[in-house]
Amino acid sequence: MSSSDFRCRVAVLGATGLVGRTMIKVLEERNFPVSDIVPLASSRSAGQVITFKGREFIIREPSKEAFEGVDIALFSAGAKASREWAQVAASEGAIVIDNSSAFRMDTDVPLVVPEVNPGDIFKGDGTPEPIIANPNCSTIQMVVVLKPLHDRFGLKRVVVSTYQSVTGKGKVGRDALESELAGEKQDEFTHFHQIAFNAVPQIDVFTDNGYTKEEMKMVNETRKIMGDDAISISPTTVRIPVYGGHGESLNIELERDFDIDELRELLRISPGIILQDDPSARIYPMPLTSYERDEVFVGRIRRDYWHPRTVNMWIVADNLRKGAATNAVQIAEVVAARW
C-alpha cells in the first residue's frame, strides 16, 4: 500500500467536549488519513451524531468492543476516563494519545510536544509507545518557545505568569463566564471567584508548597519534556475572562549571553512559532491573534537590562488547539508517518 493510500481508524473519547470536538475538526482540517471515526462519550451523549468530512457517525459509549480495530485513540474525557479506558484501548492495539493528566508524569509514558521531543514517541525498536501523554496546555506553548533557546543558549531559569482563557476549564468554564455576564445568580463560582471583569490568580487547587497544581504541572512537565531537571521554573497561573487563547509573560535566564537580533531570528525560524514583534506598530500577540490557529505567537521580545543573560517575551496560543487538540493530532501524524 502506498503512503497516499494509507488510512487508519481513529477513536475520539470525549467527542462532545470542547477539546474532543476540536480534535475532530483538526483531524479534518489537517487531512489526517482517517478511514473511519469512532466517536465515544458518556451515556448522556450516546446516540447523538457527529459529522466528519460529510459523513455522519453515531456517538457510542466506550467499551472494549468500541476499540476493536482502532489504530489511534485520542482521549479527552478527563483523567478518570483515561485511567479506565486507556489500557483497554491499548490492549486492542490502539495507540492512545491522552490529553488528561492521568499519565503525564508516569515514567513509562512519554510526554510529547512534536516540535520539542518527537523521538520520545517511539521505543528503541522504532515502534510507538502504546500510551502517549499530551502535556498541559500552558506547558505546551511555553516549551515550543523554550526548546530552540535551550538548544542554542542553554536554559537556567524561567519565571512565567500566565493569563489563561476560561475555556481551559472546558465547556463548563466558558458557560460560567457567559452566565455571569448575563447576570445570572451563581450558587458556586466555577473559577473560585467571579471571573467576569476579573482576574483570578488560582487555577486548580493549592498544594502544600503554596503553588497550585496547575503551576506545578508547568514545572514538572517542562523538565520531563525538555529532559533537564536542572531548569528552574517559577510559575504563577491566572484565569482571565477571555474565550480562547492563553497568554504567558516569560522572563528567561539563559546560560550564555545572546544577541537580541539573533535570538529573535532564531525564534522566527523555529517550527511552530510565528513572530509578531513590532511594538512601534502595535504588533504583538493577543488571544484574538491565536484564535483558531495552531501556532505559538511570540512578541514583546526585549533584553532584561537588570539581569544578565535574561530576556523577556510575551507568547500566546489557542489553548483548545495547540494547547490540546492540535498537539494530539500532531503526535498522531508523527505515529502515522512511520506506518
CA distances from 73 to 46, 79, 133 (A): 18, 15, 12
Over residues 304-330, mean pLDDT: 97
Kind and range of the H or E run holding 237? strand 232-239
- Given a contact cutoff of 8 angstroms between Cβ atoms, the answer to whether 137 and 323 are in contact is yes
* Cell 490502539, located at residue: 94
> How would residue 33 be classed by pLDDT, with cut points 50, 70 and 90?
very high
All three cell numbers of 141, joined, read 506553548
- What is the side-by-side order of every strand in the sheet holding 155-164? 232-239, 155-164, 246-254, 310-317, 296-303, 273-275
pLDDT value at position 1?
36
All three cell numbers of 175, joined, read 458557560
Residue range 3-135+324-337 forms a domain whose CATH class is alpha beta
pLDDT value at position 4?
57
Per-residue pLDDT reduced to its tens digit, 227-283: 999 999 999 999 999 998 999 999 999 999 999 999 999 999 999 999 999 999 999
CA distance 185 to 80: 30
CA distance 220 to 134: 14
Q: What is the dotted CATH code of the domain comprising 138-319? A: 3.30.360.10
Provide the 3-class DSSP secondary structure of residue 267: helix
What's the pTM value of the predicted model, to 2 decimals? 0.96
Mean pLDDT across the chain: 96
pLDDT value at position 214?
98
Over residues 95-116, mean pLDDT: 98
Range(s) of the chain covered by CATH 3.30.360.10: 138-319
φ/ψ of 293, rounded to 5, equals -115, 160
Per-residue pLDDT reduced to its tens digit, 165-176: 999 999 999 999
| Active centre residues (catalytic) | 137, 246
Q: Is 2 exposed, middle or buried (0-12, 13-18, 19+ CB in 10 A)?
A: exposed
Range(s) of the chain covered by CATH 3.40.50.720: 3-135+324-337
Write down how long the chain is. 339
Hey, what amino acid is at 212? T
CA distances from 82 to 247, 287, 293, 336 (A): 28, 30, 27, 22
* Cell 465547556, located at residue: 171
